[in-house]
Amino acid sequence: QKEVEQNSGPLSVPEGAIASLNCTYSDRGSQSFFWYRQYSGKSPELIMSIYSNGDKEDGRFTAQLNKASQYVSLLIRDSQPSDSATYLCADSDSNYQLIWGAGTKLIIKP
Amino acid sequence: GAVVSQHPSRVICKSGTSVKIECRSLDFQATTMFWYRQFPKKSLMLMATSNEGSKATYEQGVEKDKFLINHASLTLSTLTVTSAHPEDSSFYICSARGTAVRVREKLFFGSGTQLSVL
């Protein structure tokens, strides 16, 4: 059974520091990976997608993919209190069905 | 980005009533829509997948007669919770996927519906 695993946290990071969120996946055939952010009581919103090995940067966010290790990460630089949320990792199978991780709760402390 | 509209955002109803939730893709054709439910502090749980013009595929443990899904057009899917009971109280979220390259792989979410059954 395909799985995506994340540490549920909470992960506490001081404001201004780098927050590092990690995710592993079981399906070696997965090609697409996504990070979603979900605030309490709200729907998930897509932050980053990554398809190739290496880093992908978008503003303060960097997604990293290592297919050999089946590992995806999200780095948030200069963390802000508004970044406090649950971050969901997901990969996509050949039918574009998303397999979700359980999410990591991130707390940015002022 | 693609927009998915979900209504209502909040429903409070009496036990035994039915509640309909609508999900619309506003600027793309959503050939596939997904319905999730989420309990407090828990992750998303996929309930069913619906493709336009065909019957929904329900996940194991989800009662199809209780959670009626209709996907009659490429832009609209509805979820009806029939004879709702307090244990059905949850946050229901729809998401949509289109066929065009820019929307094919990514899921776009509605804003969610908080259902409270008294």
Instruction: Note down pLDDT in tens along chain A; length 110 residues.
Output: 788 999 989 999 999 999 999 999 998 888 889 999 999 889 999 899 999 999 999 999 999 999 999 999 999 999 999 999 999 999 987 667 788 899 999 999 99
Task: Give start and end residues of each alpha helix (H) in B34-105.
Answer: 101-104
Which chain B residues are closer than 8 Å to A103 by Cβ? Answer: 43
Looking at residue B21, what is its pLDDT?
97
Looking at residue B16, what is its pLDDT?
96
Looking at residue B103, what is its pLDDT?
52
What's chain B's average pLDDT?
89
Looking at residue B104, what is its pLDDT?
58
Q: Please report the number of interchain residue pairs, chain A to chain B, with beta-carbon separation below 8 angstroms.
A: 39
Of A32, A43, A57, which is closest to residue B101 (Cα–Cα)?
A32
Quick check: A71 and A26 in contact, CB under 8 A? no
Looking at residue A61, what is its pLDDT?
97
Query: In chain B, positions 16-75, which contact chain A (CB-CB < 8 Å)?
Result: 32, 43-44, 46, 49
Lowest pLDDT segment from B6-15, B94-103, B106-115: B94-103
Of B94, B95, B96, B87, which is closest to residue B115 (Cα–Cα)?
B87
Which chain B residues are closer than 8 Å to A102 by Cβ? Answer: 43
Q: Does B108 contact A44 at a Cβ distance shorter than 8 Å?
A: no
> The tokens of B12 are what?
């409070």
Looking at residue B29, what is its pLDDT?
84
Would you give the distance in Å from CA B108 to the centre of its chain? 12
Q: What average pLDDT does this structure show over B37-47? A: 87
Q: Is the pLDDT of residue B13 over 90?
A: yes
> The tokens of B115 are what?
């259902």
